[in-house]
Structure 1
Amino acid sequence: MPHTVPGCLHPSNGRNAIDWNDGGLIAYGSHNVIFIVDVLRYKRIQSIEHHQSAINIVRWSPARSPFADSTKSQPIVASADIGGHISISNALTATQINQFSHPNTSVLQMFWYPWKDISRDFLLVLHSSSTVVLWNTVTGEKVWNHTYSHVPLFDFSVDPFSLRNVIFSSSGNKVLVCSDIALSEPASSGHLFQIASEDTSSTNSNIYLITYHKAYRNTVFIAINSSLYVVNPELMCCLSRVPIESNIVNWMPSSRRDALFAVHSNGATTFRLTKFEPTEEKKPNASFTMDKVV
C-alpha cells in the first residue's frame, strides 16, 4: 500500500529536491529543511537544517568503495538552495561537513562525480552563469571551473557508462555535448547541435527534461513540448521522436530493462515498456516505440 509523508513544500522544492539512495533512504527538501525518511520502516528518521532559503536540489553521495576508509561509510547528502549555497551533510547525524557557493549564482544541477574506485568526494555543479564547477566537498575548494560564455546552459545529464560524457540542455532545442569531463583538467567548450529542425517559433521549444538511457549506450531522452526525442550524442543526431502527454514532469529510465517510469504533474506515476532497436553502428537512425503498462 502507498504511504504518504505529511509536510509542506515551497514552490522551489521541485522534482530535483528529492532523491533515493541504495540503502532505502529518501532525502527531500521541505522549504529550507531536508527530511530523511526510511522507506522500509515508513518513518522519518532525521531533519537537517543548514539552509537559510528554500532547497531546490538534493543528491545522495554514491556508495563508497570497499577500499575506502570505513569510518566514512555513513550516508552523505548534498543539497543546494535558491540562494546558491551548497551544503554537504551527514544524513544520520545531521552534521554539516562543508558549505560553499559560487559568487552571485544559483545552482541549476548537481551530480556526484566518483573518481575511479577510490574517491566519492567530488561534486559536478552547473551554476546559473553557465559555469560548470567540479567541487571538492571535503575542502570546499574548486578543482576546476569552466564558463560557457557562448551559450546559456540550464541542465545536464551524465553518461552512466562513461563519466567523461556529459550533455547539457541549452536555449531553444539545442544541446551541448562534452566528452572530456575529467578530474585532472577543465572541460572543453564542447559541441552544440540542434535537436529538432522543424519550425518551432509558434510554441515553446525549450528542453524541460534531459536524461541518459541507463540500458543503452550513447542514448539520451530529451523532452520538448509534447514530444520525447531519442538522441545519439556521439553522432550528434536525433534517432527518433514519439508523442507524450504534456503533464509529464520527469522521466526515469530503467537500467535493467528497456522501460521508463513517467512522473505526472498530478502525482501519478506510469510505467512504459519501450522497444528500442539501434541500427548498425555509425548510422543515425533507429526504431523506438513506447507502450503504457500501468
Structure 2
Amino acid sequence: MASTMIPYTVNIKLAARTLTGTLNLQNKTAVDWGWQGLIAQGCHSSILIIDPNTAQTIQVLERHKANVVKVKWSRENYHHSLSSPYSLRLASADAAGKIIVWDVVSGVAHCEIQEHTKPIQDMDWLWAQDASRDLLLAVHPPNYIVLWNGDTGTKLWKKSYAENILSFSFDPFDPSNLAREHCPLFLQVWVSLSRVEVNLAGLRPPGMDPDTLLTSEGIVFITDFSHSKPPGSGGKKVYIASPHSSPAHNKPAAVQPTGAKKALNKVKVLITNEKPTAEAVTLNDCLQLSYLPSKRNHMLLLYPREILILDLELSQTVGVVAIERSGVPFIQVIPCAQRDALYCLHENGCITLRVCRSTAPTPPETVTDAEQNQELVYDLRAQCDAIRVTKTVRPYRVVICPVNENRAALVVSDGRVMLWELKAHASKSGSNLSSGLPPLYSAVNFCGTPLRQNQKGISDLSLNTMIGHSQVWGVEDPRPLPEQKEVHLKFLLTGLLSGLPLPPFSLRMCPPLTTKNINHYQPLLAVGTSNGSVLVYNLTSGLLHKELSVHSCEVRGIEWISLTSFLSFATSVPNNLGLVRNELQHVDLRTGRCFAFRGERGNDEAPIEMIKVSHLKQYLVVVFKDKPLELWDVRTGTLLREMAKNFPTVTALVRFHPKSVCFERRLNRGGALGKKVV
C-alpha cells in the first residue's frame, strides 16, 4: 500500500530588510561600538545594528519618530544567571527628547523615557558601580542631568545647573569612587562668551575629587556626585587663564624655540581662582575633551589643528600634537587603553594612528625649562586612505573596537561605513630611522604568557599584541629584547557597507522565486540613481552586489528580463524643441556588459515615459511622451511594430499574465472586447 503524503504548512517569519541611505546631520554622533563586537548606528529615525565581521546589517530598530542623536551599548559586566540572563541592551536617544532601551535580539523596545522635547545632549550607562546595572545618566537640555533606571524607566533623581551642559565623561582610573557613592564625572558646557561660542577646557586642581563641571568661564568641580541622590552643592568653580597673562609665568627672554616646542609653550595653561578677561581665554575652539585611559590624571583637548595633553596633577600642558600648515585639520580623537596611542580622524576622512614615545632625557646643564622634561611626543605610525570629500559627502565619526583596539569603523555622511583594520608587518632593521622615528617592536608575550620556542610571533589579536611594552612611555630601558622584531603598522580596508544614493531613484525587484529557479535564485533589487549608475543589492544579506555605470544621465526606469539581466532607460535634459536623447541599455549582471538595445535610435526624439516587459520576458513595449509606442522582441532585439501616429496617447500600461483568470475570461468573450486586449 503506497504511503500518502500529508500536506503541512510552515510559517516562516522573515524580518524586514531596511536599506538606509544618506545620514542626517543630527545622526553625526549616533554611533557606538559595543563590547560584544556589534556597531550601532543611527540613520534618520532608524538604528542599524552592524556586524563588522561580515559588514552586514543584522538588525534594524524602528520606533523613534525623530532623528536619532545618541546610541550607547550596555556593557553587561555583571554575573549572568537564570535570574539575570545576558541580553543585548542598547539605549538610543532622539532629537525629540525620547530615550528608548532596546532588546536588540528581538528588536523590541524594552523601555521608553521622555522628560523634555529637546534633543538629548549626551547619555551613558553607569557601569563602574555595583548598585544596579540599569542606571542610565542623560543630559537633557538646557542644563539638566537626570539619572534613570533603564529597566523600568523610573527617574531616580534630577539636577539642574546654571550653565548649559553639553556632554560628560568618566575618569577611567577612579571606579572605586562609585562604590563610595561618588562618581568621577566631567561635564562640558556650551554657552556664549564675549559674543562668540566657546568650548572651554581646563584642569583639575591637585587634591580635589575628579567630579568636574565645565562652564563657559571655567570649571565647576563636583565633589558629591552620587547615584543614590543628586549633587547637593553647586561645586567649586575655577577659571582658566593663559600663561602670558599671569605674573607667575613672566620670564626673561630666552632663545626662541622652534617646532613642537614653540607650539607647546604657546598653549600652556594655568589654573587660577580669578576670573580672566575675554582676551586671556585662549581655549575657544575646543572640539573634544577626554580622559586618557592609558595615563592616570591625564586629559586631552582636541582643536582643529592640534591636540593638547594635560597633566591634571601638574596643572599644565605636557604634550602637543600639532599639524603642519598644509596638513588636514582634526575632527575627532579616540585615546586607547592598551597602549598610549591616539586614533585621529581628519576632515578628509583619513584615520591616523599616533603612538607615544618617551623623549630622550636632556643633560641638566642644557635644560632651560623644567617643564620640557615632561613633554610627550606622539609619532605618526599609520594612516589610511582619504575619501573624496564634497558638499554632501563628509566624514562624520569614527569608532574603534573597545576590546581589540585595532579595528576602526568610519561613518560617512552618504551612509557608507568603512571598516579598517590595523596590521603589523615585520620590517627590516633600521627602516624607520630614515623617517627620523624610533623603531616599533613586536610584543613578547600574550596576557603574560611568553612566546614558545617554535612560535614565531603573536597574532594581531589586539593592539597590545602588535606593539611591545618597550614602546610604553616611561619605560626605563627601551632597548628591544632578543625575541622582539621590528614592525611597522598599516591600515587595511576589510569591509564596506554602502547606503542608498540621494533621491530621486528608481527601484525594480527581480523576477519572483519559482520551483524552476529555486536552486539558483537570488533576491536582487536594482536601484537606478540620478548620476546614471545602477546599484544591485542582494536582499538576503543587504549588501551591494554590483554597481554598474550604465547611463550618462538620471535613470528613469528599470525592467528585469531574466534573473541575470535587465533593461534600463534614461533621458537627457530636453533642448529648445523639447527633444531629448533616450538611452535604453541592456545590462548583463554576470559579465557587466552593456549595449544599446535600440541601436542608433534615441537621438533628438520624444522622451521615453515607461517600458514594460511581458510576463514571459519575450516582448518589450516602449512608451513615449508625444510619440506612438514601439513593440520589440527582447530575445532578438528587433523592432516588431511601431504604432501609427494617430494611435491614442498611452498614459498607463499593464501587461496581463497569460494564466490569469481575468485574461482568460476576456479572451473567451471574443468579439470587440477580445480585440481590444493588447
Q: TM-score range by the shorter chain?
A: 0.7 to 0.9
TM superposition shift of 1:90: 1.1
Q: Kindly tell me: are residues 193 and 152 of structure 1, through their superposed partners in 2, closer, same or farther at Cα, counting changes over 3 Å?
A: farther
Q: Corresponding residue for 2:111?
A: 98
Match of 2:294 in 1: 215
Change beyond 3 A, Cα 1:104–1:41: closer
**Of 234, 258, 262, which aligns to 1:189?**
234
**TM value normalised by structure 1:** 0.85
1:228 corresponds to 2:282? no
The match for 1:133 is 146
Query: Which AA in structure 2 matches 1:155?
Result: S
Write out per-residue CA displacement over residues 197-216 of structure 1, whole angstroms, 9 at most, x where no aligned residue.
Answer: 26768988143201111111
Please say if 1:178 is aligned against 2:257: no
Instruction: Work out the CA distance in 2 between the residues paired with 1:122 and 1:288.
Output: 37
| Equivalent-residue separation in structure 2 for 1:263 and 1:184 (angstroms) | 38
Q: Distance in 1 between matches of 2:41 and 2:320?
A: 32
Match of 1:34 in 2: 47
Identify the match of residue 239 of structure 1 among 317, 323, 338.
Answer: 317
Deviation at 1:7, TM superposition (A): 3.3
Change (3 A) 1:200 1:12: farther
CA contact (8 A) 2:355 2:381 kept: yes
Decide whether the 8 Å contact of 1:130 with 1:153 is kept in 2. yes
Q: Distance in 1 between matches of 2:33 and 2:342?
A: 17
Q: Structure 2 length normalisation: TM-score?
A: 0.39
Structure 2 CA distance for partners of 1:230 and 1:196, relative to 1, 3 Å: farther
Higher relative contact order, structure no. (Cα contacts within 8 Å, ≥ 6 residues apart): 1
Mapped to 2, the partners of 1:236 and 1:111 lie a distance apart of 29
Deviation at 1:80, TM superposition (A): 0.8
Which of 28-37 and 249-258 deviates more? 249-258
Distance, in Å, in 1 between the alignment partners of 2:132 and 2:82 is 10
Is the alpha carbon distance of 1:130 and 1:229 closer, same or farther for their aligned partners in structure 2, counting shifts above 3 Å? Answer: farther
Whether 2:167 is the aligned partner of 1:159: answer no
User: Which is richer in helix?
Assistant: 2
**Match in the other structure for 1:205:** 284
Match of 1:253 in 2: 335
- With over 3 angstroms needed to count, the CA separation of the structure-2 counterparts of 1:185 and 1:236, relative to structure 1, is farther
In 2, Cα distance between equivalents of 1:42 and 1:71: 31
Determine the structure 1 residue equivalent to 2:378.
290
Q: Deviations over 1:36-69 (max 9, x none)?
A: 0111222211000111111111100112312565
- Name the CA distance, whole Å, in 2 between partners of 1:119 and 1:266: 42
Shift of the 6–107 alpha-carbon distance from structure 1 to 2, 3 Å rule, reads: closer
Question: Where do 5+ consecutive residues of structure 2 fail to align?
Answer: 1-18, 176-182, 191-197, 202-213, 244-277, 360-369, 383-678
User: 1:168: how far off?
Assistant: 1.8
Q: Given residue 329 of structure 2, which amino acid in structure 1 is its aligned partner?
A: N
Query: Which SS does the other structure have where 1:12 is aligned?
Result: helix
Does structure 2 conserve the Cα–Cα contact (< 8 Å) formed by 1:61 and 1:78?
Answer: yes
SS in 2 for 1:207: coil
Q: If you compute each CA radius of gyration, which structure gives the higher value, 1 or 2?
A: 2
**Aligned equivalents of 1:70, 1:230: Cα separation in 2:** 45
Amino acid at match of 2:138: V
Note the residue ranges of structure 1 that are not aligned, 5 or more in a row: 278-282
Tell me: CA distance 1:37–1:122, structure 2 relative to 1, closer, same or farther (3 Å): same
**Greater Cα shift, 127-136 or 182-191:** 182-191
Flag the 1:36–1:154 CA change in 2: closer, same or farther, 3 A.
Answer: same
Instruction: Report if the CA contact (8 A) 2:304-2:330 is conserved.
Output: no
The count of corresponding residues between Structure 1 and Structure 2 is 282
Note if 1:54 corresponds to 2:67: yes
Identity of aligned pairs, percent?
Answer: 27
- 8 A contact 2:319–2:375 mirrored in 1: no
Separation of aligned partners in 1, 2:283 and 2:295: 29
- Given that residues 166 and 189 in structure 2 are in contact (C-alpha distance below 8 angstroms), is that contact kept between their aligned partners in structure 1? yes
Aligned to 2:24: 10
1:128 Cα offset (Å): 1.6
